[in-house]
Amino acid sequence: MIKPYYEIKSKNIHILNFSGGADSTALLLMMIERKMPIDYIIYINTMIEFPQIYQHINKITELIKPLFINILPIDLNLRHLDKDILTNIERDNFKAWCTKQKNIAIINFLSQFKKNIINYQGITFDERERINNGKRLFGTELMIKRFPLIEWEITKKDTLQYCYKLGLNWGGLYDRFNSIACMDCPLNIKGE
């Protein structure tokens, strides 16, 4: 039997949300450094990510391969969206719509588990106003959301510096954008 990299016996399933950006990458690698349990890493594949994101995810997949943790893609095909719709939609409305679609895909994936779920999300200390109370009833089981970057007071700047020190650079995307979303997303914020 293959032994996980962590020695903690748990009645919970530990699932990390991974976008391929600096925050979730730093969260993943910092959790591994701290030997925190990770049973699954889930990635929402919108099919319209920057090519550099796919290259980065492949690099991270190879990096963690010896730990026997897999990054599981959940396909959410957004290719059908018209580019004009993406550019003309209001930022706040699009964010609500897109987040809802991703959350539905995640909940559909998580619904297969019969244990309590601890879901780790890469929200940074300087974004802490985005979280709610961190708990939500999930069917008959409990899903607990955890935000380790907030717990550790790690900022967006910290996550990017951490990743750069490890030689991770997303092919220069963070030189062009402050935040990385899908290629045609109106939420991509140009760098200063």
Interhelix angle 22-33/51-64, nearest 10 degrees: 0
Q: Which fold has domain 12-190?
A: Rossmann fold (3.40.50)
Edge to edge, the sheet with strand 12-17 lists 71-75, 40-45, 12-17, 116-120, 141-146, 135-138
The whole model's pTM is what? 0.82
Q: What is the pLDDT of residue 101?
A: 77
When computed from its CA atoms, the radius of gyration of the chain, rounded to whole angstroms, is 17
| The predicted structure's pLDDT at residue 124 | 95
Residue spans per domain, the chain: 12-190
Indicate if the alpha-carbon torsion angle 183, 58, 153, 176 is positive or negative: negative
pLDDT tens per residue across all 192 residues of the chain:
334 445 555 678 899 999 999 999 999 999 999 999 999 999 988 888 889 999 999 999 999 998 888 788 888 877 665 555 555 555 545 555 677 778 788 888 888 887 788 999 999 999 888 776 555 545 445 778 899 999 999 999 999 999 999 999 999 999 988 777 666 565 555 543
In the chain the beta strands, taken as DSSP E runs, fall at: 12-17, 40-45, 71-75, 116-120, 135-138, 141-146, 177-179, 189-190
